[in-house]
Amino acid sequence: MPSEEHRNASPAAPHPPTDTAEEAIWLWTQIKAEARRDAEAEPALASYLYSTILSHSSLERSLSFHLGNKLCSSTLLSTLLYDLFLNNFSTDPDLRAASSADLLAARYRDPACVSFSHCLLNYKGFLACQAHRVAHKLWTQSRRPLALALQSRISDVFAVDIHPAAKIGKGILFDHATGVVVGETAVIGNNVSILHHVTLGGTGKLGGDRHPKIGDGVLIGAGATILGNINIGEGAKIGAGSVVLIDVPPRTTAVGNPARLVGGKEQPTKHE
Amino acid sequence: MPSEEHRNASPAAPHPPTDTAEEAIWLWTQIKAEARRDAEAEPALASYLYSTILSHSSLERSLSFHLGNKLCSSTLLSTLLYDLFLNNFSTDPDLRAASSADLLAARYRDPACVSFSHCLLNYKGFLACQAHRVAHKLWTQSRRPLALALQSRISDVFAVDIHPAAKIGKGILFDHATGVVVGETAVIGNNVSILHHVTLGGTGKLGGDRHPKIGDGVLIGAGATILGNINIGEGAKIGAGSVVLIDVPPRTTAVGNPARLVGGKEQPTKHE
Amino acid sequence: MPSEEHRNASPAAPHPPTDTAEEAIWLWTQIKAEARRDAEAEPALASYLYSTILSHSSLERSLSFHLGNKLCSSTLLSTLLYDLFLNNFSTDPDLRAASSADLLAARYRDPACVSFSHCLLNYKGFLACQAHRVAHKLWTQSRRPLALALQSRISDVFAVDIHPAAKIGKGILFDHATGVVVGETAVIGNNVSILHHVTLGGTGKLGGDRHPKIGDGVLIGAGATILGNINIGEGAKIGAGSVVLIDVPPRTTAVGNPARLVGGKEQPTKHE
């Protein structure tokens, strides 16, 4: 299946408690321990790790500070963005649970991810996704100009362009992330892995509900272009470089330009 | 036709007067009204909207300020860039007419574009195109090092790499825009829509005039790669993910890798 | 061969001495002369050219200053990065020789490159590659958190994502460069040309040694996706938009999705 990048959990990765509240505490404890270890081993990074992680009292404060610094500009100040992110992460447990699930997804599904702090500090796909979740909440609250300003900053800074109306589940890995485009009426399920240069777009023929719906557990390879209001079923795999214009059944693989189905675990059929 | 994104005018979009001078005044009046409305509805954005739009006396001043802030660096100062952009926009009515036409193109051809100020502030494709127009003028005035420095900043900041020698018409929509590459001898007509990750490049075989010529009204889907000194005729459509190495006649669609022609409105032929 | 961009040396480009130490001195003399000429012709750039080139006593100081300024953030200071780059370039002749070879590669293989200073100041592919070489050295010294922080900044600023463990030869041209992704166990030989949006990735099936090995003198066209621990032989050409999942013999061309071989200079065979 021509997708891209490694789906195997790094065997050394520690596993969290199953309770959500305990998981968040466990995760933040891990992140601080990692940052302390790295600051000791690499004094050149000590000040950076202090300001981004070790000086903060919680994951949501660390994340809000980091996002505010990354996304600010000379006219959109980091203090405004910090307050905006912190206010949303502090008051919305769903946002926090999604951040935790995304950190775990990167750590366990990407063997190049060596620690939770590595993802928190360095993965622009993770950071773009967390900022999008806040933009999406603002969109649903009819704070659209602010949501669109955030979308624009995320696209400038991370080269990831997700419309704030798009709905995205938990446990998402945007790997490498450069060039990802997700349209206004797209829906992405839980535990989805999306490589760089992936487009969930429209066909240019229709307005309204015009973007793909991606089921749980789908893997979308690098450079795949999925267009139109079509369904990509649970556990499907979309090959790198595919151009997908048709529904893809659950647990089925689609490859090529235009994409054809090449069988699945349950129904290993082969259609031309 | 597998392109991407929505080509239908948003029905609520107001239409400008047909006279060019009146159009520019009308457009700037619309933009200020939109910014005032958004600043009232969203106090968090009031300061941002004041500094980028409401404090300025004209569209060219607002645009020059915004571009200067976006493209500046610690060694290429925003004041230098502001003066450069304003001097060019103020003295060249063609540049101003092209900016207006591009704003209208985004507003009427992209249903995700909710207002003119949305495009002016947030569309990196629009901003990259306006900065390119100034770089192109500098290039034709033999101010090549400055033109190339601008190209580089546009590529860093917007991930859009347009050679300053490339000729681009009016009414252009660069939708999403990440990863667009336009070579030195490329020519793009009027009212063209180009999605993200599109390359207008060379084949690697020749120097000199080596890049595509794109006719009026062409639509180029996401990720299409068009290579060589070939002609894409008026009103042609290039499918997403296509690799196009041959001329495409007017009003004809090309899809696939390598691209084949799949008919057109006037001559619905099908060539392999 | 559908690749992209022009491989012909600009006939006016001056050629360096063959001795490596003399070459570096010759190159820096050329760069300063170019910067002086451009500063005289374009007073708006004089201050910029002084701070980036003319105020420095060597190519490694100029390059370290430029990289530090480009890659710094409010939490990762330019002074720290400048010291890090300069310390590495000053003490490692291999890093300096690679920078020189990459400057020559851009000047002689990309006809759009008008001078060495044009590449040094403006080519994000060149800058990303030099920063990667330092990140790779840190990685081999087990300074992994710092290497990963550099990788992340290079990906944010240049939209080029190269894992610090990846091994890259000399005389490399990353042309346009936006969206390039190079995985952890990839190896790139000498005198390789890689266009934008190229992925050297994994197939998603395996951990361990899972990325492509690219031979000397290979040319990889725009948007090509090369996946898995496969060999691309010396002098091979990979067409734009190809999805390559198989070994490609030396001096052979591969095109299409999935890619097929279309012959080579020595064995003009054609396989389906």
pLDDT (tens digit, 9 = 90+) per residue, C33-65? 999 999 999 999 999 999 999 999 999 999 999
Mutate to test the interface with A, among B47, B114, B196, B238 (most CBs of A within 10 A): B196
Check CB contact of C181 with chain A, cutoff 8 Å: yes
Mutate to test the interface with A, among B6, B65, B173 (most CBs of A within 10 A): B6
Whether residue B128 is predicted with pLDDT greater than 60 in this model: the reply is yes
pLDDT of residue A266: 52
> How far is Cα B187 from Cα B182, in angstroms, rounded to an integer?
9
Check CB contact of A8 with chain B, cutoff 8 Å: no
Model confidence pLDDT, tens digit, residues A144-190:
999 999 999 999 999 999 999 999 999 999 999 999 999 999 999 99
Q: C112 by DSSP, 3-state: which?
A: coil
> How far is Cα C175 from Cα C194, in angstroms, rounded to an integer?
6
- CB-nearest partner of A44 from C84, C152, C243: C84
CA distances from B96 to B54, B90, B153, B172, C74 (A): 19, 8, 22, 14, 36
Residue in B24, B83, B19 with CA at minimum distance from that of residue B58: B24
CB of A183 closer than 8 Å to CB of B110: no
Residue C65: half-sphere exposure toward Cβ, Cα within 13 Å: 18
Mutate to test the interface with C, among B227, B238, B246, B255 (most CBs of C within 10 A): B227
Q: B73 by DSSP, 3-state: which?
A: coil
Mutate to test the interface with A, among B34, B40, B47, B48 (most CBs of A within 10 A): B48
**Quick one: A83 exposed, middle or buried, by C-beta within 10 A (0-12, 13-18, 19+)?**
middle
Q: What is the mean pLDDT of chain A?
A: 92
**Is B223 in Cβ contact with C44 (below 8 Å)?**
no
Residue A145: half-sphere exposure toward Cβ, Cα within 13 Å: 22
Residue in C20, C30, C188 with CA at minimum distance from that of residue C97: C20
**DSSP-derived secondary structure for A146-202:** HHHHHHHHHHHHHS-EE-TT-EE-SS-EE-S-TT-EE-TT-EE-SS-EE-TT-EEE-
How does residue A22 score in pLDDT terms, banded at 50, 70 and 90?
confident
**Is B161 in Cβ contact with C44 (below 8 Å)?**
no
Cβ-Cβ contacts under 8 Å, B222 against chain A: 181, 199, 201, 225, 227
Secondary structure element (H or E) that encloses residue C193, with its range:
strand C193-194
Check CB contact of C90 with chain A, cutoff 8 Å: no
Residue of A nearest to B9 (CA): A207
The stretch A123-152 carries a mean pLDDT of: 98
pLDDT of residue A205: 67
CB of B190 closer than 8 Å to CB of B217: yes
Residue of B nearest to A77 (CA): B48
> How far is Cα A119 from Cα C7, in angstroms, rounded to an integer?
38
> How far is Cα B48 from Cα C94, in angstroms, rounded to an integer?
48
Q: What is the mean pLDDT of chain C?
A: 92
Residue in A76, A209, A153 with CA at minimum distance from that of residue A162: A153
Residue B73 to chain C, least CA–CA distance (Å): 8
**DSSP-derived secondary structure for C22-82:** HHHHHHHHHHHHHHHHHHHH-GGGHHHHIIIIIT-SSHHHHHHHHHHHHH--SSS-HHHHH
Structure tokens at A261: 């189905």
Q: B252 by DSSP, 3-state: which?
A: strand
User: Phi-psi bin for A158: left (phi > 0), alpha (psi -120 to 50), beta?
Assistant: alpha
**DSSP-derived secondary structure for A36-58:** HHHHHH-GGGHHHHIIIIIT-SS
Whether residue C2 is predicted with pLDDT greater than 50 in this model: the reply is no
Cβ-Cβ contacts under 8 Å, A41 against chain C: 143, 145
Cβ-Cβ contacts under 8 Å, A240 against chain C: 199, 201, 225, 227, 243
**Is C3 in Cβ contact with B204 (below 8 Å)?**
yes
Q: How far apart are the first and last CA of chain B?
A: 17
Model confidence pLDDT, tens digit, residues C99-135:
999 999 999 999 899 999 999 999 999 999 999 999 9
Based on its alpha-carbon atoms, the radius of gyration of chain A, rounded to whole angstroms, reads 19
Cα four-point dihedral sign A68, A71, A74, A75: negative
How does residue B1 score in pLDDT terms, banded at 50, 70 and 90?
very low
pLDDT of residue A16: 83
Model confidence pLDDT, tens digit, residues B193-239:
999 999 999 987 667 999 999 999 999 999 999 999 999 999 999 99
Whether residue A11 is predicted with pLDDT greater than 50 in this model: the reply is no
Mutate to test the interface with C, among A6, A117, A157 (most CBs of C within 10 A): A6
**Quick one: C144 exposed, middle or buried, by C-beta within 10 A (0-12, 13-18, 19+)?**
buried
Q: What is the mean pLDDT of chain B?
A: 92
pLDDT of residue C267: 52
**DSSP-derived secondary structure for C206-271:** --SS-S-EE-TT-EE-TT-EEESS-EE-TT-EE-TT-EE-S-B-TTEEEETTTTEEEEESS-----
Cβ-Cβ contacts under 8 Å, C148 against chain A: 114, 118, 122
Cβ-Cβ contacts under 8 Å, B82 against chain A: none
pLDDT of residue B5: 39
In total, chain B counts a number of residues equal to: 272
Cβ-Cβ contacts under 8 Å, B227 against chain C: 2-4, 222, 240
Check CB contact of A157 with chain B, cutoff 8 Å: no
- Number of Cβ within 10 Å of residue A6's Cβ equals 26
Residue of C nearest to B80 (CA): C44
Residue of C nearest to A41 (CA): C143
- Number of Cβ within 10 Å of residue A40's Cβ equals 11
> How far is Cα A161 from Cα A187, in angstroms, rounded to an integer?
14
How does residue C90 score in pLDDT terms, banded at 50, 70 and 90?
very high
Residue A100 to chain B, least CA–CA distance (Å): 28
Check CB contact of C146 with chain A, cutoff 8 Å: yes
A248 forms bridges with which residues in the sheet? A232
Residue A45 to chain C, least CA–CA distance (Å): 7
The stretch C5-10 carries a mean pLDDT of: 41
Residue of A nearest to C182 (CA): A176
Secondary structure element (H or E) that encloses residue A219, with its range:
strand A219-220
Cβ-Cβ contacts under 8 Å, B159 against chain C: 159, 178-179
ipTM (interface predicted TM): 0.93
Whether residue C89 is predicted with pLDDT greater than 60 in this model: the reply is yes
Whether residue C214 is predicted with pLDDT greater than 60 in this model: the reply is yes
Structure tokens at C155: 């990906």
Cβ-Cβ contacts under 8 Å, C222 against chain A: none
User: Phi-psi bin for B241: left (phi > 0), alpha (psi -120 to 50), beta?
Assistant: left
How does residue B17 score in pLDDT terms, banded at 50, 70 and 90?
confident
Q: Strands of B167-168's sheet, edge to edge? A: B167-168, B187-188, B213-214, B231-232
Could you give all domains of chain B from N- to C-terminal order, each with its CATH number? Answer: 6-159 (1.10.3130.10), 179-272 (2.160.10.10)
- List chains touching B (3+ CB pairs under 8 A): A, C
CB contact burial B53-86 (16+ within 10 A = b; e otherwise): bbebeebbbbbbbbbbbbbbbebbebebbbebbb
Structure tokens at A244: 């997908």
Cα four-point dihedral sign C19, C25, C28, C29: negative
What percentage of chain C reaches a pLDDT higher than 90? 84
**DSSP-derived secondary structure for B140-182:** HTT-HHHHHHHHHHHHHHHS-EE-TT-EE-SS-EE-S-TT-EE
How does residue B268 score in pLDDT terms, banded at 50, 70 and 90?
very low
Check CB contact of A33 with chain C, cutoff 8 Å: no
Check CB contact of B152 with chain C, cutoff 8 Å: yes
Check CB contact of B264 with chain C, cutoff 8 Å: no
Residue in B228, B109, B184, B146 with CA at minimum distance from that of residue C239: B228
Cβ-Cβ contacts under 8 Å, C178 against chain A: 159, 178-179
- Number of separate helices (H) and strands (E) present in chain B: 8, 15
What percentage of chain A reaches a pLDDT higher than 90? 84
**Quick one: C52 exposed, middle or buried, by C-beta within 10 A (0-12, 13-18, 19+)?**
buried
Which letter does DSSP use for residue A248 in this model? B
Portion 63-82 of A in contact with B at CB < 8 A: 73-77, 80
The stretch B110-114 carries a mean pLDDT of: 93
Cβ-Cβ contacts under 8 Å, A149 against chain B: 45, 48, 121-122
Instruction: Check residues A133 and B3 and name the one with the higher pLDDT.
Output: A133
- List chains touching A (3+ CB pairs under 8 A): B, C
> How far is Cα C187 from Cα C211, in angstroms, rounded to an integer?
8
Which letter does DSSP use for residue C8 in this model? P
> How far is Cα C76 from Cα C270, in angstroms, rounded to an integer?
52
Model confidence pLDDT, tens digit, residues C132-180:
999 999 999 999 999 999 999 999 999 999 999 999 999 999 999 999 9
pLDDT of residue C1: 39
Q: How far apart are the first and last CA of chain A?
A: 17
Whether residue B271 is predicted with pLDDT greater than 90 in this model: the reply is no
Whether residue A271 is predicted with pLDDT greater than 70 in this model: the reply is no
Q: Give Cβ neighbours of residue C155 (< 8 Å, ≥ 6 apart).
A: A124, A176, A178, C161
**Is A148 in Cβ contact with B2 (below 8 Å)?**
no
> How far is Cα B188 from Cα B215, in angstroms, rounded to an integer?
6
Residue C33: half-sphere exposure toward Cβ, Cα within 13 Å: 9
Model confidence pLDDT, tens digit, residues A97-127:
999 999 999 999 998 999 999 999 999 999 9
Q: Strands of A225-227's sheet, edge to edge? A: A161-162, A181-182, A199-201, A225-227, A243-244
B252 forms bridges with which residues in the sheet? B264
CA distances from C238 to A188, B199, B235, C221 (A): 33, 16, 31, 6
How does residue C94 score in pLDDT terms, banded at 50, 70 and 90?
very high
- CB-nearest partner of B44 from A146, A179, A199: A146
Model confidence pLDDT, tens digit, residues B150-163:
999 999 999 999 99
CB of C38 closer than 8 Å to CB of B145: yes
- Number of Cβ within 10 Å of residue B51's Cβ equals 17
- Please give the distance of CA A215 from its chain centroid, rounded to a whole number: 15
Instruction: Report phi then psi at C116, rounded to 5.
Output: -65, -40
Q: Give Cβ neighbours of residue A84 (< 8 Å, ≥ 6 apart).
A: A134, A146, B44
Model confidence pLDDT, tens digit, residues B75-84:
899 999 999 9
